Amino acid sequence: MARALKTQMAQATKKPIKLTVDNKQATTPDGATIPNACKAAGAYVPTLCYLKDINEIGTCHICLVEMEGYNQLVAACDNITLRGMAVHTNTVVVQVAPAVHTA
């Protein structure tokens, strides 16, 4: 697991937080990974290299999502949810990114 993600998860309170996934309000435990939060909100984020507690290094970038306020795509499996964050899983940029990344 990446050190930054470990630090973020250690600081998480596990209390429910609200965020937006694909323009829909969602509630997830503080510290949930973005793919888990998206799944709870009914959005699918594919993962390939991520295996919970086994391989959490975030290298394949198949799970890229857009986060409002960030100027680049982020690996969802390598980041946790934050209160009020807005995630987009189904934009054109997100759909094309894995193909561009592996080309």
The footprint of ligand FES (CB under 6 A) covers 47-50, 58-63, 75, 77
Of 63, 64, 66, 98, residue with least CA distance to 85: 66
Which CB atom, from 5 or from 15, has the smaller least distance to ligand FES? 5
Distances, alpha carbon 66 to alpha carbons 13, 69, 85, in Å: 24, 9, 11
At its nearest, how many Å lie between ligand FES and the CB of residue 90?
16
In whole angstroms, how close is the CB of 14 to ligand FES at the nearest point?
22
User: What are residue 23's DSSP bridge partners?
Assistant: none
User: Which is closer to ligand FES, CB of 13 or CB of 66?
Assistant: 66
d(CA 10, CA 40): 21
Q: How far is the CB of 36 from ligand FES (least distance, A)?
A: 12
Q: Which is nearer to ligand FES, 41 or 65 (CB)?
A: 65
